[in-house]
Amino acid sequence: MDTLLPPDIADYASNDHHATQEETTPKQTAPSASGLRAWLGVINATISAIESTAWQGRALAEQTVQAYRAIEAGVEGAAEQYQALTEEAQRWPARLQRLSSTGWMLTRVAARYRFWSIRSAFIPRSKMPAALDRLHRKSAQSFRDISLQHGGAFLKIGQLLSSRPDILPESWVDELSSLQDQASKEPFDSMRAVIETEFGKPLEDIFSEFSEQPIAAASIGQVYRARLHDGREVAVKVQRPGLEEIIELDMSLLKVFAESLRGMLPPTDLDTIVSEIQRSVRQELDYRVEASWMQKISVLLEAAERVRVPKPIKRFCGKHVLTSEFVEGRKLTDVLDEMKQQNDQQGLADVLGRLLDMYLRQVLQAGYFQADPHPGNIMVTDDRELILLDFGCTAELPDSFRKGYFEILRASVIGDNDTVARVLMELGFKTRSGKPDTLLAFNDAILQQIRNMLSEINEQGFVWPTPDDLMEKAKGLFDQATLDPVEKMPAEFILLARVFGTLGGMFLHYQPRLDVTRYLLPYMMMSTE
């Protein structure tokens, strides 16, 4: 049977893994129900995407016939119709190639995990961890390679996953970590053309020096080191050409795959979640918006302790090019990993404490915040100053929401569930039953860690939850959400949850001995007016 399997799946079913029943785990006769649902969901999503593309192809064919008949008849406007048809047809090879490669990758990953649920019954206990790690690593590499190849929204998803060591296996985080600040590099000639088109003059007239090798390559753009004619050293972020077409295709695929998840997850407001993700990604395509937020948050964080945002240089910013001050630094997780290896508990607490303060200041004090805190967007200088980068994904809370979340935080800390439930309902959260139990469970999942850090400090510092504790908590949350799902949530909450989910995962991974009262209480005592 093994010889009939694709090579990457057969790796996990080789004869080396076979053993007698006494050596193996309890025999499983069928894949788990949840694993099978997940696999079928991805298969169905892939088929749906292909069907969607096929119907679009049919529409293109019909458009071709109409254009041909119009040209034959010599009707007015035939030339414009033919030109539109030509431009649409030119996009199709890339669309089909992107769809087939991403859909096939997701299908293969799902198939590996489905097959694992069967074959693991025949693997000796002693070999189980290594075999499972190979499975995780192979799947993560497939996702990483497609993300690097295509960029766009798939790369953004990979970046988000890479910053969640609390929910993903270590091998997944290891393989996806390269997505945080590195992607496939665009040829310099095409990026030079973007700059010169943006400002209507040769590159040499804008910069006295310009390194052709990017110092960072991300999903939306590439960053270069340069020098202005007045001597200032700058970072120049240049958007990849033709990105609008890629992003729109990815957004369509995202919607299709999100629809496929409805049967596998507790009912929730997926429409709002997907719409907010689409809005935030599309916003990133206009660097003028990013430059404005960069300037605004730079001023806000001037009062924060050893935190800095490079200021944009307005004269050299446009829709597709953003020029800002250049600051030297190292990626946040590289510095934190080094501190952890050296058992530098004071350093971990100091850096992560200032990171927490940086986001409390944005969310609670200002009501606007950088909403993409993956480690590639946070640097640390040699003197441990935090540098916050990349404001393409920035969210703003209406003042009523800022005050509402402020009130929820205060009530959560003292365990006032009645106030938490009332404010959540007022902000637009809604459960199927109208009762607040599921909302309170979700609120606990986000804020209980902060409450515990305030109340459960001992001489060794805060006692962090174990993986078993987290699994038990997650199971309870899943059960409650299944019993009484959240059917409506405000769009403003989506990116806020993303931020504190990412930061929470980082805190759980490094487990700093942090005096959270030092950072939280000043905001608790602050007026909301």
Query: Of 302, 282, 244, 527, whose CA–CA distance to 406 is shortest?
Result: 527
In this structure, are residues 17 and 127 in contact, taking their beta carbons and an 8 Å threshold? yes
Given the residues 250, 372, 390, 484, the one annotated as active site: 372
- Region 230-250: mean pLDDT is 83
Question: Nearest to residue 135, comparing CAs of 111, 104, 157?
Answer: 111
Q: Distance between alpha carbon 488 and the CA centroid of its chain, in Å?
A: 22
For residue 286, is it within any domain? no
484 is catalytic: no
- Residue 519: the pLDDT is 85
For the segment 197-218, the average pLDDT, to the nearest whole number, is 93
Do residues 477 and 405 both lie within one domain?
yes
Same domain, 352 and 424: yes
Q: Return the pLDDT at 171.
A: 80
pTM above 0.85, yes or no: no
- If asked whether residues 34 and 150 sit together in one domain, one would say yes
DSSP 416: -
**Residues 75-102, mean pLDDT to the nearest whole number:** 52
* Chain segment 353-367, per-residue pLDDT in tens: 999 999 999 999 999
Q: So what's the pLDDT on residue 88?
A: 46
Contact criterion met (CB below 8 Å) for 44 and 255:
no
Tell me whether residue 512 is exposed, middle or buried, using C-beta atoms within 10 angstroms of its C-beta: 0 to 12, 13 to 18, 19 or more.
buried
Residue 518 is assigned to a structural domain of this protein? yes
Whether 142 is covered by a domain: the verdict is: yes
Taking Cα atoms as reference points, which of 305, 331, 349 lies closest to residue 507?
Answer: 349
Would you state the pLDDT for residue 145? 82
Tell me if 96 is assigned to some domain: yes
Last residue of a domain, one of 154, 177, 200: 177
Residues 33 and 158 occupy one common structural domain? yes
Same domain, 269 and 337: no
Q: Which of 151, 177, 203 is the last residue of a domain?
A: 177
Tell whether 276 and 339 lie within a shared domain: no
Q: Domain limits at 265?
A: 244-280
Per-residue model confidence as pLDDT tens digits over 81-94: 445 544 544 454 55
Say if 294 falls within a structural domain: no
**Residues 6+ positions from 25 with CB-CB distance below 8 Å:** 120, 121, 123, 125, 128
Q: Is residue 459 part of a domain?
A: yes
Q: How far apart are CA 305 and CA 381, in angstroms?
A: 14
Identity of the highest mean pLDDT range in 96-110, 174-188, 320-334, 391-405: 320-334
- The domain tally of the chain equals 3
Backbone angles phi, psi at 242, to 5 degrees: 70, 20
